[in-house]
């Protein structure tokens, strides 16, 4: 009776500091696999294909949708993002825990398919703080920032069905919380008892 | 809509290293209140009344039982141990989180009364390891050790209804796990959303 890998699904409005947070926490858990999404969005400076995303053409994305290759996919600001079904199934069966970084549209599709998923929502301390961070990032123009803030307000309503909520006010504290959720979920009774089944007590 | 204090209930067979573990973790959380049990057992060297336990006479214990002053009580090796109902109610209403260190007999009584309790079971890595630790502790004679090991085997069967299980193989790792469970439970959606209700997003 070995354990299947856990699936940690992390969602956050753009500009909440999720990427920084995830990088920090992944450093603690070298054994956790990070799910690399497919996207039709062009790479930003510094982003690498096969590491940050699988960057693919809209045509190829559409083919994958039609083949049912995605466990979830969504469109944001005209770009499509998707998670490969095979990669999740592989991690699960190998007993490898996996982190998925996807928005609430995608997360709810995962929830429907994998009951054992653990859903974590990262919130900005306020919408005003979010706006400031997006400006400071300097990636988006004013119009896109306005869109992202409005989208964030909608996203935040989705927090109500997640298992955990982290308010990212100070990154050290938020990282500690994310790390703690990962460790705590591994201590859940059902998981530990399955593991112990292998040993003699 | 302020939050009620959480109740963390920690159980472990005697000799599992629970006391060391709790002392370590309590150091991280000065704001958490540690529930001090009442007992008819005489103090061990170094134990202080009102700090480690409230040491009381069997007569006074019996009076408290009859008055319904205990939320749970149990008898182990001829000594009685109980948790005061008032102290839990007070912490809850003040929004102060509390740790209760009680055995499974007591824990199941708490579970019946406080649905919001979080139940954590600490396991020895094996019964043999437990026996060695009890010998090394040098508090109990051979007979009592035999009793404690047999009792531990029964206790461990109770782990099946706890929320979390920590296997105390290395104390650093076990302490990290206990700390993580405490932090993670504070990030649970229902608790965070109640807290956020007070602010404007």
Q: Do B181 and A187 touch (CB under 8 A)?
A: yes
What is the rounded CA–CA span in Å between residue B194 and residue B116?
14
Contacts of A190 in chain B (CB under 8 A): none
User: Residue B176: what pLDDT?
Assistant: 97
Q: Reading across the β-sheet that carries A33-34, which strands appear in turn?
A: A33-34, A98-101, A7-11, A118-123, A164-167
* Residues contacting residue A161 through CB under 8 Å, at least 6 positions apart: A108, A111, A119, B189
| Residue B140, in any domain of the structure | yes
Examine the pLDDT at A145 and tell me if it is beyond 60.
Answer: yes
* Residues contacting residue B70 through CB under 8 Å, at least 6 positions apart: B38, B64, B82, B83, B84, B85
* Pair A32, A97: CB distance under 8 Å: yes
Examine the pLDDT at B181 and tell me if it is beyond 70.
Answer: yes
What is the rounded CA–CA span in Å between residue B145 and residue B121?
20
Task: Give me the domain span that covers residue B179.
Answer: 7-35+96-196
What is the rounded CA–CA span in Å between residue A146 and residue B80?
64
Examine the pLDDT at A197 and tell me if it is beyond 60.
Answer: no
Find which of B184, B193, B198, B200 to mutate to test the A interface (most A CBs within 10 Å of its CB). B184
User: Residue B196: what pLDDT?
Assistant: 65
**B168 — phi, psi (to 5°)?**
-85, 80
Instruction: Give the number of domains in chain A.
Output: 1
Provide, rounded to the nearest whole percent, the portion of chain A with pLDDT above 70. Answer: 96
User: Residue A32: what pLDDT?
Assistant: 95
* Residues contacting residue A172 through CB under 8 Å, at least 6 positions apart: none
Find which of A122, A189, A191, A196 to mutate to test the B interface (most B CBs within 10 Å of its CB). A189
* Residues contacting residue B35 through CB under 8 Å, at least 6 positions apart: B83, B84, B87, B88, B91, B98, B99, B100, B101
Quick check: helix, strand or coil at residue A155?
A: helix
Nearest chain A CA: its distance from B138 CA (Å): 23
Could you report the per-residue pLDDT of B39-54, keeping only the tens digit for each?
999 999 999 999 989 9
| Residue A74, in any domain of the structure | no
User: Residue A200: what pLDDT?
Assistant: 41
| Residue B65, in any domain of the structure | no
User: Residue B77: what pLDDT?
Assistant: 82
Interface residue A165 vs chain B (CB under 8 A): yes
Examine the pLDDT at A198 and tell me if it is beyond 70.
Answer: no
Query: What is the residue-averaged pLDDT of chain B?
Result: 90
User: Residue A201: what pLDDT?
Assistant: 44
Q: Which A-chain residues 112-131 have CB contacts (< 8 A) with chain B?
A: 121, 123, 126-127
| Residue A175, in any domain of the structure | yes
Examine the pLDDT at B122 and tell me if it is beyond 90.
Answer: yes
Q: Which B-chain residues 168-187 have CB contacts (< 8 A) with chain A?
A: 176-177, 179-185, 187
Query: What is the residue-averaged pLDDT of chain A?
Result: 90
| Residue A42, in any domain of the structure | no
Of A160, A177, A200, the CB nearest to B183: A177
Examine the pLDDT at B198 and tell me if it is beyond 60.
Answer: no
| Residue B131, in any domain of the structure | yes
Interface residue B167 vs chain A (CB under 8 A): yes
| Residue B80, in any domain of the structure | no
Examine the pLDDT at B155 and tell me if it is beyond 70.
Answer: yes
Which of A159, A137, A162 is closest to A19 using CA atoms?
A: A137
Q: Do A126 and B159 touch (CB under 8 A)?
A: no
Report the pLDDT averaged over residues B173-196. Answer: 91
* Pair B13, B148: CB distance under 8 Å: yes
User: Residue B61: what pLDDT?
Assistant: 97
User: Residue A2: what pLDDT?
Assistant: 64
DSSP string, A41-53: SPPPTT--BTTTB
Interface A-B, measured as beta-carbon pairs within 8 A, has a size of 94
Q: What global pTM score does this model have?
A: 0.88
What is the rounded CA–CA span in Å between residue A194 and residue A201?
13
What is the rounded CA–CA span in Å between residue B92 and residue A126?
28
* Confidence band for B154, pLDDT divided at 50, 70 and 90: confident
Examine the pLDDT at A33 and tell me if it is beyond 80.
Answer: yes
Contacts of B185 in chain A (CB under 8 A): 184
* CATH number for position B157: 3.40.50.300
Q: Do A177 and B185 touch (CB under 8 A)?
A: no
Sequence-ordered strand ranges (E) for B18-115? 33-34, 38-39, 54-55, 70-76, 79-84, 98-101
Burial class (CB in 10 A: 0-12, 13-18, 19+), B145: buried
Report ipTM (2 d.p.): 0.86
Of A156, A163, A184, the CB nearest to B189: A163
More confident site: B3 or B195: B3
Report the pLDDT averaged over residues A144-173. Answer: 91
* Pair B183, B33: CB distance under 8 Å: no
Interface residue A156 vs chain B (CB under 8 A): yes
Could you report the per-residue pLDDT of A49-87, keeping only the tens digit for each?
999 899 999 999 999 999 999 999 988 889 999 999 999
Burial class (CB in 10 A: 0-12, 13-18, 19+), A4: middle
Nearest chain B CA: its distance from A8 CA (Å): 14
Could you report the per-residue pLDDT of A75-125, keeping only the tens digit for each?
888 999 999 999 999 999 999 999 999 888 889 999 988 877 999 999 998
| Residue A40, in any domain of the structure | no
Q: Reading across the β-sheet that carries A38-39, which strands appear in turn?
A: A54-55, A38-39, A79-84, A70-76
User: Residue A1: what pLDDT?
Assistant: 47
């Amino acid at each position: 009776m070995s354990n299947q890998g856990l699936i940690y699904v992390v969602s956050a409005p753009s500009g909440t500091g999720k990427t920084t947070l995830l990088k920090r926490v992944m450093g603690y858990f070298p054994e956790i696999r990070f799910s690399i999404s497919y996207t039709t969005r062009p790479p930003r400076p510094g982003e690498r294909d096969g590491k940050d995303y699988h960057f693919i053409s809209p045509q190829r994305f559409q083919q994958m949708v039609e083949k049912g290759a995605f466990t979830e996919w969504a469109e944001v600001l005209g770009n499509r993002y998707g998670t490969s079904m095979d990669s999740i199934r592989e991690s699960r069966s190998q007993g490898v825990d996996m982190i998925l970084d996807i928005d609430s549209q995608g997360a709810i599709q995962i929830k429907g398919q994998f009951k054992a998923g653990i859903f974590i929502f990262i919130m900005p301390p306020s919408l005003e703080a979010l706006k400031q961070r997006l400006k400071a990032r300097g990636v988006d123009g004013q119009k896109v920032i306005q869109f992202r803030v409005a989208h964030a307000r909608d996203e935040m309503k989705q927090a109500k069905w997640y298992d955990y909520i982290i308010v990212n006010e100070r990154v050290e504290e938020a990282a500690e919380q994310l790390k703690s959720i990962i460790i705590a979920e591994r201590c859940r009774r059902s998981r530990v008892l399955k593991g112990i089944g292998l040993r003699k007590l």
